Chains A and B, each alone.
Chain A
Amino acid sequence: MTTTTLRPRTAPAPAPAGDRGPALRARRRRLLHWIAVHAVSVAAALFFVLPFVFVFLTSVMSDGQAMSGELWPHEWNWSNYATVFHTPGFLDWWKNSLMYAGLGTLFTVCSAVPVAYALAKFRFRGRRTAMILVISTMMLPPQVIVIPMYLVWAQQLHLSGSLWPLIIPMAFGDAYSIFLLRQFLLTIPQEYIESAKVDGCGELRTLLKIIVPMAKPGIAAVALFQFFYCWNDYFGPQIYAAQNPGAWTLSYGLESFKSAHSVDWNLTMAATLLVMAPVIIVFFFAQKVFVEGVTLTGVKG
């Protein structure tokens, strides 16, 4: 294992002939390998972390300095963050993002759990077809169906200018969440369900009392993904909420913030960090759930 190298240039140097023992040679090789791996890792870490660092450093610069090309702030203007918060609308965007992400997640989980359970555990005709349809919906670019959908919400239901056209459909099963949950439920042995039935549980009771508690990690992953999806969504709010700034979300508002403060990179970077912060904080609290969830999408697939 120790001589496996990532890139040809990190291949171990040919061992000098003669006087050194094989143990010493192996140790030297291992050390070189360690150095190579960690040097590449540090370089990679710089690529991933430096953008955050520059964004942060700029976010505390003075207005004047932010227009220069300097990298390190002369003075630390924490008040930039207060200025961003006091921008008209900014708090509303927060509120709207939380509503969209909160309700969207709740609706998605409630509707996806029974569907995923049926697709994973019931035997019925058309089950395979149903799965194919779910996956097809998952693959469909949202732009394909957006126009007729928009016309219905705007012209028949008069709900454009709000986030409801995005939230309501989530009460009817989001394909990606159904797929992910089903993959998770497949791993629950059938015996648990059988024994619940023997104990006289109906299907609904079995689902709520046996399956849901066992599927908590899967449900948590789905909830997190959906929360992030809503929080990050730009296309949806652009279609339905664009004409009413009172309904904008953070993701949508951030872009207009930049346009309104075209030269104030410091304020824009502060706002950018404030949009990134919630997801990153959530991540640190739920790291394990998250990484397991991502793995689930790939490995089980």
Chain B
Amino acid sequence: MALPPAPALRRKHTRERLRTLGFLSPWLVGFTVFFGYPLIATVYFSFMHYNQIEQPDFVGLKNWKYVLTQMPLFGPALWNTLWLVVVMVALRVVFGLGIGMLVTKIKSGVGFFRTAFYLPYLAPPVAATVAFVFLLNPGTGPVNEILGAIGIHAPSWFNDPDWAKPSLVMLSLWGIGDLMVIFMAALLDVPKEQYEAAELDGAGAWGKFRYVTWPAITPIVMFAVVTGVVQTMQYYTQALVAGKLASGITFGPGTVIQPGYPDHSTLTVPQLVYSLGFQNFNTGAACVLSLVLFVIAMGVTTLLMRKRAGLLAAED
């Protein structure tokens, strides 16, 4: 192909660059204003004493030292978030894969079962949480009524510090629909011939899973794990609403309650950011905590980029 003369080529390049910039402009503005700026401002405020009324006052590393070494709630919040990241993500992936496999094996009524399994995922988190706080309430909740009737001594679920997080895990398993669909699609993509070949080689159910299914779905499992970790690090609404409602405290707007009922067992890092920034007006400490969360989130994202380059490579 003959090259166009140089000035024309340059003009074409300029035009193309302008065109690209034009198409990208909504995001370029959005990224700068709603991501770049606040991120830098968060770093700035992390070195300031600022109660959102008086002028910010530079205090060096004081906020950092306070959050990381002195703040009593930092430990429990970090522990709860990590607990949820490990337990909730692991159980969600296992359960999602199980339900996905189950759906691929159903012969009769598959449409009904698929919809029934999927529907809870759609319930708005606040509504689902309110529903679960009701279902599991130790006084009159249907779950404890039923368990009581068959003679099982049921725990107090959201009102028991040892059971509050497991109750949240149960709530998250109820909304397994997204993972079910992803796993279902991946499982149906595994070529049937491979199972037949494995069968000829004398593989049993476990052998077929281990040597045919698992290698084929590993990328999807990875994807589910990483997105699960990212989502769970942001875990906020369900924990907050469950804690507030289970505590039974009646509160109007502006009422400050200690988050994480019972006994800080449902306090997550994002809740602590909110509590520091919007209830205690300790902007500096809240920003430090935000940055801690940011560093952890970016660490996981980098890991994702490494392990799943496919996220970007789809273009070639």
User: Chain A: residues with CB nearer than 8 A to chain B?
Assistant: 1, 3-6, 8, 11, 34, 37-38, 40-41, 44-45, 47-49, 51-52, 54-55, 58, 67-71, 111-112, 114-115, 117-120, 122, 124, 128, 130-137, 139-152, 155, 169, 171-173, 178, 183, 186, 203, 228, 231-232, 234-235, 238-239, 242-243, 245, 250-252, 254-256, 258-260, 262, 265, 268-269, 272-273, 275-276, 279-280, 283, 287, 291, 294-295, 297-301
Point out which of A1, A4, A172, A273 has the most chain B C-beta atoms below 10 A from its C-beta. A4
Partner of B192, one of A1, A38, A54: A1
CB distance from B212 to the nearest CB of A (A): 10
Closest to A279 in B: B122
7 nearest CB pairs, A to B: A172-B30, A148-B41, A298-B182, A173-B27, A145-B38, A118-B23, A111-B26
Beta-carbon contact of B42 and A132 below 8 Å: no
> Which residue of chain B has the shortest Cβ distance to A140 in the bound complex?
B297
Query: Which residues of B have CB within 8 Å of A252?
Result: 126
A38-B181 contact, Cβ under 8 Å, with A141-B297, A147-B283, A254-B130: no
Whether A295 touches B185, Cβ cut-off 8 Å, given contacts A45-B117, A118-B23, A132-B312, is: yes
Tell me whether A172 and B27 are in contact (CB under 8 A): yes
Residues of A within 8 A of B186 (CB): 298-299
**CB nearest neighbor in B for A293:** B181
A250 to B19, CA, bound (A): 41
Whether, in the assembled complex, B94 has its beta carbon less than 8 Å from a beta carbon of chain A, the answer is: no
B27 near A115 with CB under 8 A, answer yes
- Complex: A122 Cα to B21 Cα, angstroms: 11
Instruction: Report the bound CA distance from A283 to B134 in whole Å.
Output: 25
Task: Give the contacting residue for A117; candidates B23, B102, B174; CB below 8 A.
Answer: B23
Within 8 A of A (CB), among B67-99: 98-99
**Is the Cβ of B253 less than 8 Å from the Cβ of A256?**
yes
- Judged by a CB distance under 8 angstroms, whether B116 is at the interface is yes
Say whether, besides A144-B39, A254-B130, A256-B253, A139 and B300 are in contact (CB < 8 Å).
yes
A-contact 0/1 string along B219-262, CB 8 Å cutoff = 01001100100100110110011001100111111100000000
The prevalent SS among residues of A at the interface is helix
Q: How far is the CB of B284 from chain A (nearest CB, A)?
A: 10
Assuming A275-B127, A301-B311, is B290 touching A147 (CB within 8 A)?
A: yes
Q: Are the CB atoms of A114 and B23 closer together than 8 Å?
A: yes
Cβ of B214 within 8 Å of any chain A Cβ, yes or no, is no
CA distance A114 to B27 in the complex (A): 9
Q: Which residues of B contact A (CB under 8 A)?
A: 16-17, 19-20, 22-24, 26-27, 29-31, 33-35, 37-39, 41-42, 45, 52, 98-99, 101-102, 105-109, 112-113, 115-120, 122-128, 130-132, 134-135, 139-142, 144-146, 174, 177-178, 181-182, 185-186, 189, 192, 195, 205-206, 208, 220, 223-224, 227, 230, 233-234, 236-237, 240-241, 244-245, 248-254, 269-270, 273-274, 277-278, 283, 286-287, 290-291, 293-294, 297-298, 300-301, 304-305, 308, 310-312, 314-315
Among A11, A52, A145, A287, the one with the most B-chain Cβ atoms within 10 Å of its Cβ is A145
Query: Is the Cβ of A48 less than 8 Å from the Cβ of B17?
Result: no
Interface residues of chain B: helix, strand, loop or mixed (majority): helix
Cα(A71)–Cα(B149), bound, Å: 12
Contact A141 B233 (CB under 8 A): yes
Query: Are B245 and A259 in contact, with the CB atoms below 8 A?
Result: yes
Show 22 A/B contacts (Cβ-Cβ < 8 Å), sorted by A: A5-B205, A45-B117, A48-B119, A69-B139, A124-B20, A141-B234, A144-B293, A144-B294, A146-B274, A147-B42, A148-B287, A169-B30, A172-B31, A235-B237, A238-B274, A254-B127, A265-B140, A276-B127, A279-B124, A283-B119, A295-B185, A298-B220
| Contact between A172 and B174, CB atoms less than 8 A apart | no
Q: Which chain A positions have C-beta within 8 A of B42?
A: 144-145, 147-148
User: Chain B: which residue is nearest A139 at the CB level?
Assistant: B301
A272 touches B105 (CB 8 A): no
| Contact present for A269 and B134 (CB under 8 Å) | yes
Quote the shortest CB–CB distance from A284 to chain B (angstroms). 9
In the complex the two chains form, is B125's CB within 8 Å of A232's CB?
A: yes
Determine the chain B residues whose CB is within 8 A of the CB of A297 once the complex forms: 178, 182, 227
